[in-house]
Homo-oligomer: A and B are copies of this chain.
Amino acid sequence: MERVNIKQLAAMLNLSIATVSKALRDSYDISKATKEKVIELAARLNYEPNPHASSLRRNKSKTIAVIVPEIANNYFALAINGIESVAEENSFHVLIYLTHEDFEKEKMFARHLLSGRVDGVLVSISGATTDYAHLRALEQKDIPVVYFDRVSEAEDAKRITTDDFESSRLATSHLITKGCTRIAHLAISQHTSIGKKRKGGYLQALADHNIPVDDSLIIYCGNYDEKNAASIADLLLYKKCDGIFAAVEKYAITTYEQCSALNISIPQQVKVIAFSNLQTASLLNPPLTTITQPAFDIGREAASILFNTLNKKIPPGDPENIILKSLLIERDSTSGEW
């Protein structure tokens, strides 16, 4: 039996080829009734799409870009693995761009991608990013952008995050239930929504337990480890905090290093909890209590939204706001009670 092609299918249905094509790939801009009519006839006549032609029409480069602040960090490494697993299922390449927390670099990458080198972009913004015009420009060129972890606050952005506020509140409360009263927060840049949310959860937990806020216990850690190390040493020696909630894994590592250098014992003198996907968290001395994000799943989810947008199952202009849950894993760095 000779197979019908899309042109014949369209003629029989008295529809345009474009409409039939969109209906067959479940596009949002075709009515449900039309889709059903097309799919029914296509199935009856044993229509099979030419996969090569349809992919060429839809995607020019078969490539997506991932822009992240760094990769010397298990969270992003795992998220990228999640993204790649979805890209592979879609036979797409993944290009990785590292901003090293530099806003200028992020803007340069976005300009570079305007040329159509990729079909879509996944981004976790740098700590220095203060506006999103460079990423909006991509969307205006029909290159969809999906944010993950460090996201745009724009109402119409597509974004995947974890429950940062609630997790931070939980982390801080965990220290409070262990008897900590002078809890420091090693915070991410407040330019980012993630930084605000993690600090917000910390402040909420203090309020929940009627503990007054001491601004000198909130340290905004940038990207400079030496400066951080000095601030954290100062915190341990002079601010006499008894608990530390680190918003990022590397601040916890610096805390461990400083405690070791200053002969301050964890958890006897100070308890430590951190957002972390560190593979060695359970092997540290002492094992580190963590808020562990579902990094691989965040990557998969973000990539799925991007591919659904590329395949027109999601309208490019529609917002998405997916929030995945993190897990508090209690280990020895917060053990014992005062």
- The chain A residues found within 8 Å of chain B, CB to CB, are 70-74, 77-78, 80-81, 84, 93-98, 100, 109, 112, 117, 253, 256-257, 260, 278-280, 282-287
Cα distance, A70 to B279, chains bound together (Å): 15
Q: How many copies does the complex hold?
A: 2
Whether A80 contacts B95 by the Cβ 8 Å rule is no
Whole-angstrom CA separation of A138 from B235 in the bound complex: 54
Main secondary structure of the interface of A (DSSP, over half): mixed
Q: Is the CB of A95 within 8 A of B98?
A: no
The residue that A96 contacts in the complex, of B96, B257, B278, B284, with Cβ under 8 A, is B96
The answer for the CA separation of A77 and B71 in the assembled complex, in Å, is 6
Instruction: For A100, list chain B residues within 8 Å (CB).
Output: 81, 84
In angstroms, how far is the closest chain B Cβ from the Cβ of A259? 10
Contact of A284 among B81, B98, B112, B280 (CB under 8 A): B280
A254 to B73, CA, bound (A): 19
Listed by A's residue number, 11 A-B pairs whose Cβ atoms lie within 8 Å are A70-B77, A71-B71, A72-B77, A72-B279, A77-B77, A94-B97, A96-B96, A256-B283, A257-B283, A278-B280, A280-B284
Nearest chain B residue, comparing its CB with the CB of A286: B285
Question: In the bound complex, do residue B72 and residue A98 qualify as a contact, i.e. CB atoms below 8 Å apart?
Answer: no
> Are the C-beta atoms of A81 and B77 separated by less than 8 Å?
no
Expressed in whole angstroms, the Cα–Cα distance for A74 and B77 within the complex equals 10
Measured CB to CB, the closest approach of chain B to A283, in angstroms, equals 5
A95's partner among B72, B95, B283, B287 (CB-CB below 8 A) is B95
Q: Is the CB of A81 within 8 A of B74?
A: no
| Cβ-closest chain B residue relative to A78 | B72
Residues of B within 8 A of A97 (CB): 93-96
Tell me, rounded to whole Å, the shortest Cβ–Cβ distance linking A59 to chain B: 14
CA distance A253 to B109 in the complex (A): 35
Q: With a CB–CB cut-off of 8 A, which chain B residues contact A95?
A: 95-97
Q: How far is the CB of A278 from chain B (nearest CB, A)?
A: 7
- Chain B contacts for A98, CB-based, 8 A: 80, 84, 94, 96
A96: B residues at CB distance < 8 A: 71, 95-98
Kindly identify which residue among B73, B81, B253, B283 contacts A285, using a CB–CB cutoff of 8 Å.
B283
* Chain B residue with the shortest CB-CB distance to A259: B283
* Chain B residues within an 8 Å CB radius of A81: 72, 100
**A226, B282: Cα distance in complex, Å:** 17
When distances are taken between beta carbons in the complex, the residues of chain B under 8 Å from A94 are 97-98
Shortest Cβ gap from A72 to chain B (Å): 4
